Amino acid sequence: MKSKIFILAALMAAVSFWSCKTDTKSQEKATTNTETTSKAKSCKYKIKSSDVKVNWTAYKTTKRVGVKGTFDSVDINTVAGTPSLSALMLGTSFRIDTKTVNSDNPGRDEKLVNFFFGKMTGNLGITGQVKSVEGDDAHGKGVVTIVMNGVTTDNPFEYTIADKVLTLTTSINTDNWNAQAAISSINKACEEKHRGEDGISKTWPDVDVSVVVPLEIECE
């Protein structure tokens, strides 16, 4: 009988010891998780301004044949070391020198400067600033205010970020900036080039735009 009591007591002591040990480990794990959370990374964001690219795709003929290009000069004004991506975008403005339009076709570029951008007011420049941002460090959307042809208009955009590169995409309709005369001018100057198989010469007012923004991200 004493032997059975001894064995029972030993088992109870072992269970008690194991239970205490398990609770201790759980507490240690909880403490570690709390410390990890409290030590969440804080990051600072900065734009590599000289590497920003503004790419565009315009369309001609009734079949909407795409014509791609970029601008060689884009001035970026930004605040370095912002604590979030949204703060970085909201603190950034830009100016595009449209005289530096580059479609990899010098003859076409000259016509764009003289018969499209040259028909607008604003000293051959497009300016703007991000007005609002909604999203996270992977993707989101926002609104950019664009000043072109003397007209200020808000335009929606979407963004993604991967490998420290922020890409903003949007589609603008130049009619919203009262650029109908400029569209007619470039279409007349490029009438034969913009004529499709149906015999109709057409230049579309909408342009797809993507802005590629390399980032510097430093986290502690």
Domain boundaries, the chain: 1-40, 43-219
Confidence (pLDDT) at 13: 44
Q: How far apart are CA 164 and CA 16, in angstroms?
A: 53
The tens digit of pLDDT for each residue in 53-96 reads 999 999 999 999 999 999 999 999 999 899 999 999 999 999 99
Side-chain-side CA neighbours of 46 within 13 Å: the count stands at 9
- pLDDT (mean) for 43-49: 94
- How big is the CA angle at 78 (ends 74 and 81), to the nearest 5 degrees? 140
Joined together, the tokens standing for residue 51 give 């590497």
The tens digit of pLDDT for each residue in 181-198 reads 999 999 999 999 999 999
pTM: 0.80
Joined together, the tokens standing for residue 58 give 């315009």
pLDDT(23) > 60: no
Percent of the chain residues topping a pLDDT of 90? 76
**3-class secondary-structure state, position 150:** coil
Domain 43-219 fold is Lipocalin (2.40.128)
